[in-house]
A and B are shown apart, each in its own frame.
Chain A
């Protein structure tokens, strides 16, 4: 049923793209093309340091994007992740400082962060499933609430950790890759397993693709959706630890600002449908890397940082347009 493409009097390139199943490999093809262009455009691009740098930069929002993939596949959205990152980070640093900043204090801070993030997500999930408020509205509300609580907690200042040890977590490397990158990769592998090989993953897709059918198939749709918000909340907790330990502080006004946009963008660019039902973790990872490379190239070519948002916006809109073309042909 590749009707649209046929009618578009397909050029040879389009014909080629059709052959390689744009459906599945679209984001990957885009990544390869972008990679080749970037390496031709700048001699520095292919340097190992630059590449690991890109990966580290994307890891913070990339981790959240992994969790966001579940939410979006189930048919929802979470706009509160950026503010929640700041709030959870502030809570974690507070705990860390209270407990003296040693190894056990760090362990406690991590546990509290994951727990607090999951709780924030559970809160969203509860309002969305229990009282049936649209996810967009609920998380728009909590986005404002979480940021405001962070500002209140810190008196709108930067909350610094007193620990000497804590920064090692976020700054460290393992086998040549920054720690946050490892965590992103491990989470991606785990989430991929959950999405494709567990009942929960199957149910998430079922709920997102047709909630009525899922209900008729005796799936507890409310719980499935609820847990997707808990999952994204947990990823927020992890990111807030990695971010605050790298800076050894949390800035209440700017920590996590705009993360919701980057996370959602990575998911969408990665081929997950914003209307739910289908998507992939690998795609999200690729989406995050694409965003990272675009930013990196703009930096290297000396484009004003103020313009980078414009390019990012265009990439997102472009990705959705391509997706829609794909859907129509299906």
Chain B
């Protein structure tokens, strides 16, 4: 056995044979044979439900395989979260795993605190180490900041620091860049290269094919739980990756741009929220897709939340179809036929413990109940959405926790839509979902505006904003930095306004 071990240490870090996973008979991953080399960056791509998350959950011990073997350092291992941690397998999850009420350094050392004599915590050393880690990451996060006060990107950095702090050998990153700005992505990639040079193996899951192309050595494609291919990244271009993920030739991603009408349906004037929004004015035309671009923390989400009655405005007027509205709560907003599809799906959009039907009718339940809820009507409505949105679910009585991210997003959409809105606020509607689902959502937004519904489209993906919107407002630090229309809607112009740098060229 010793002989075997010596051989493999030099080359293969992880080897799987016939790895498979089923949930009550339904296979979500089948027969995966893969060898992951020490010190490589392995990209895994695939649509939602392709089995990427399942694969990494098998590697980090969250799930036990239904079939097959995992070898680590040439030895078969039975992985549990504890053993995988001991072996140096760390995961940076998509949804963060941080304690909001604790400080940054406390989070990083949670459960593995440095101690002095008599078990007294060595806070000084922990803070110093955190400071070093953050310096390495080029992240400006003070060790004593409370996690709840951090931006999403900063939380991400804390997660990475947490993983790096304890000499990880296999670092698994699940969609790490979805919440990062271009600059932060640069920093992350530099860090990944440094880690790689130190011999750390990295598994990198992303929907952003351009990034996969840039950072990965090899790329594995999964589709519907099956292994499709594993090639050096040079062998595939983006187009080919997308084709293999979807299993067919990709057609045009964006539908034709919608032309809005003359009528102004939503008019915002001088809107301010202390410390967050300053003097925001814009108007939304009937049947238009109005883009809102900007860096993380520029105030786009806060703007949508204020319009939807989730935040109190200190100044300003909101007019819906010419009438001044006092929107003090989401129910006021819904009464004015405004819908909001929030950014943080699991935290604000859907109830994972509820079934598809009850999620769909959550906002519009009034229409399904006199004294008692009319289940038949409710289920019929839900089935209609399942069909039109192509929601993959066993039935409308399936709980949402069993649906993939893209399908959850579609349910969230159906919920907002069922309240019959005429103004629809989309906040990062494509975050963390695959190309196919993205295309469906674009198509869906297109159909909405064709019916005369007006949309506000907030996205950090510049190509989406550019692909969908004829007019784009760019926000910076809680203000409108400028408005771009038609030909001027380009990556360069947007970044100029978003960063406030006259010479663009960041992305």
Residue ranges of A at the interface with B (Cβ–Cβ < 8 Å): 1-3, 6-7, 193, 197-199, 202-203, 205-206, 209-210, 212-220, 277-278, 330
Contacts and interface: CB of A to CB of B under 8 A. Distances in A.
Interface string B254-296: 0000000000000000000000000000000000000000000
A2 B329 CA distance: 40
A218 B23 contact: no
Given A6-B64, A7-B64, A206-B362, A216 B369 contact: no
Interface in B316-365: 329-331, 333-334, 340, 342, 347-351, 353-354, 358, 362-363, 365
Contacts of A209: 351, 353-354
A277 B353 CA distance: 8
Interface residues of B, number: 35
A2 B66 CA distance: 12
A198 B330 contact: no
A79 B38 CA distance: 58
A215 B333 CA distance: 12
A8 B329 CA distance: 48
Interface string B401-443: 1000000000000010001000000000000000000000000
A-B complex: 6 closest residue pairs judged by Cβ atoms = A218-B331, A218-B334, A218-B330, A217-B362, A197-B372, A217-B363
A14 to B, nearest CB: 16
Nearest to A2: B24
A203 B369 CA distance: 13
Interface in B349-389: 349-351, 353-354, 358, 362-363, 365-366, 369, 371-373, 375
A193 B369 CA distance: 13
Given A193-B372, A210-B351, A217-B330, 10 more contacts: A197-B375, A198-B369, A206-B362, A213-B348, A214-B351, A216-B308, A216-B340, A216-B349, A218-B363, A277-B353
Contact of A205 (B331, B333, B354): B354
A216 B64 contact: no
B484 interface: no
A215 B373 contact: no
Contacts of A199: 365-366, 369, 373
Nearest to B334: A218
A206 B363 CA distance: 11
B66 to A, nearest CB: 9
B415 A217 contact: yes
Contacts of B371: 198
A197 B308 CA distance: 29
Contacts of A203: 365
Count chain B CB atoms within 10 A of each CB in A6, A203, A214, A216 and give the residue with the most: A216
B109 interface: no
Contacts of A218: 329-331, 333-334, 363, 419
A200 to B, nearest CB: 9
Nearest to B335: A218
Contacts of A202: 358, 362, 365, 373
A1 B23 contact: yes
B362 A219 contact: yes
B63 interface: yes
A203 B415 CA distance: 15
Interface in B35-67: 62-64
14 contacts: A6-B64, A197-B372, A198-B369, A198-B371, A206-B351, A213-B348, A213-B362, A215-B330, A216-B308, A216-B349, A218-B330, A218-B334, A218-B363, A277-B353
A219 B331 CA distance: 7
Contacts of B308: 216
B64 A212 contact: no
Contacts of B362: 202, 206, 213-214, 217, 219
B19 to A, nearest CB: 16
A213 B400 CA distance: 13
A3 B63 contact: yes
Interface in B241-256: none
B354 A216 contact: no
Nearest to B24: A2
A198 B373 CA distance: 5
Contacts of B415: 217
A92 B172 CA distance: 66
A317 to B, nearest CB: 24
A209 B353 CA distance: 7
B9 to A, nearest CB: 29
Given A198-B373, A212-B348, A220 B63 contact: no
A147 B227 CA distance: 68
Count chain A CB atoms within 10 A of each CB in B24, B330, B347, B415 and give the residue with the most: B330
Contacts of B23: 1
Nearest to A203: B365
Interface string B147-162: 0000000000000000
A206 B62 CA distance: 28
A198 B348 CA distance: 23
A3 B358 contact: no
A213 B353 contact: no
B310 interface: yes
B365 A215 contact: no
Contacts of A3: 62-64
B310 A216 contact: yes
B372 A198 contact: yes
A209 B401 CA distance: 13
B99 to A, nearest CB: 17
A324 B373 CA distance: 31
Given A205-B354, A216-B349, A217-B362, A197 B373 contact: yes
A218 B362 CA distance: 9
Contacts of B342: 216
A213 B331 contact: no
Given A217-B330, A217-B363, A278 B353 contact: yes
Contact of B310 (A7, A197, A215): A215
A141 B62 CA distance: 43
Nearest to B368: A199
B422 to A, nearest CB: 15
A107 to B, nearest CB: 26
A166 to B, nearest CB: 34
A247 to B, nearest CB: 37
A31 B389 CA distance: 44
Contacts of B375: 197
Contacts of B24: 2
Contacts of B401: 330
Nearest to B339: A218
B329 A220 contact: yes
Count chain B CB atoms within 10 A of each CB in A193, A209, A212, A217 and give the residue with the most: A217
A209 B351 CA distance: 7
B451 to A, nearest CB: 22
A132 to B, nearest CB: 16
A111 B442 CA distance: 58
Interface in B129-164: none
Nearest to A212: B348
A198 B371 CA distance: 6
Contacts of A219: 331, 362
Contacts of A216: 308, 310, 330, 340, 342, 348-349
Nearest to A210: B351
